[in-house]
């Protein structure tokens, strides 16, 4: 998910004490980032390249989204609640595109870096086992084959529950609990 929110601009401009915001976002971006190991030690940090707005369709979608938010925010019916538009304001297309590029943030719901499936790009199987690695499962949002259109929390809870079910069954944990 990607959105536009210029917090630094807002602070610099001194937003009013009372106000409202329309925040649009691209929920299924085409832009794809990657992660890379920086060394052999598991404690070595990873390098994350988000590649936000690297796909031109995402830039077009976000531009349309900002325009729609501005249009809604400036409707006559909202005039009684509007003193002025603070951000982004009336900007020419190229300046607005620059603003969007500089103000775009992530909602930090990255997914699909270790996707589940059967093709060459897949990392885990239907039992959440990592292909080619013994005794390792992945049970988080990274296994989602595609970016979800909503918050990732619910799918992650389901993935965790499914992982617990698989592990309980494999190790007969329920039977052990009942024996005690």
Which entry of 34, 109, 171, 178 is annotated as an active-site residue?
Answer: 109
Q: What is the DSSP string of 7-29?
A: HHHHHHHT--SS------EESS-
Query: Both tokens of residue 114?
Result: 């270790």
Encode 46-65: b = buried (16+ Cβ within 10 Å), e = exposed. Answer: eeeebebbeeeebbebbbeb
Angular region, 3: left φ>0, alpha ψ -120 to 50, beta rest: beta
Is 34 a catalytic site residue? no
Identify whether the C-beta of residue 124 lies closer than 8 Å to the C-beta of residue 138: yes
Query: Both tokens of residue 18?
Result: 């009372």
Place of tokens 């989602």: 144
Identify whether the C-beta of residue 109 lies closer than 8 Å to the C-beta of residue 141: yes
HSE of 100 in the Cβ direction (CA atoms, 13 Å)?
28
- The set of catalytic residues is 109
């Amino acid at each position: 998910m990607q959105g536009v929110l210029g917090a630094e601009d807002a602070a610099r401009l001194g937003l009013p004490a009372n106000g409202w915001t329309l925040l649009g976002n691209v929920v299924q971006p085409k832009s794809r980032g990657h992660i890379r190991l920086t060394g052999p030690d598991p404690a070595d940090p990873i390098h994350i390249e988000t590649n936000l707005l690297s796909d031109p369709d995402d830039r077009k979608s976000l531009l349309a989204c900002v325009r729609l938010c501005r249009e809604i925010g400036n409707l006559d019916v909202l005039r009684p609640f509007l003193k002025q538009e603070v951000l982004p304001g009336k900007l020419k297309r190229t300046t607005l595109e620059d603003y969007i590029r500089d103000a775009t943030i992530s909602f930090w719901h990255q997914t699909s870096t270790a996707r589940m499936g059967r093709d060459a790009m897949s990392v885990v199987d239907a039992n959440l086992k990592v292909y080619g690695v013994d005794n390792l499962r992945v049970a988080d949002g990274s296994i989602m084959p595609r970016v979800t259109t909503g918050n990732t929390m619910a799918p992650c809870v389901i993935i965790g529950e499914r992982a617990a079910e698989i592990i309980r069954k494999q190790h007969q944990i329920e039977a052990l609990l009942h024996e005690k």
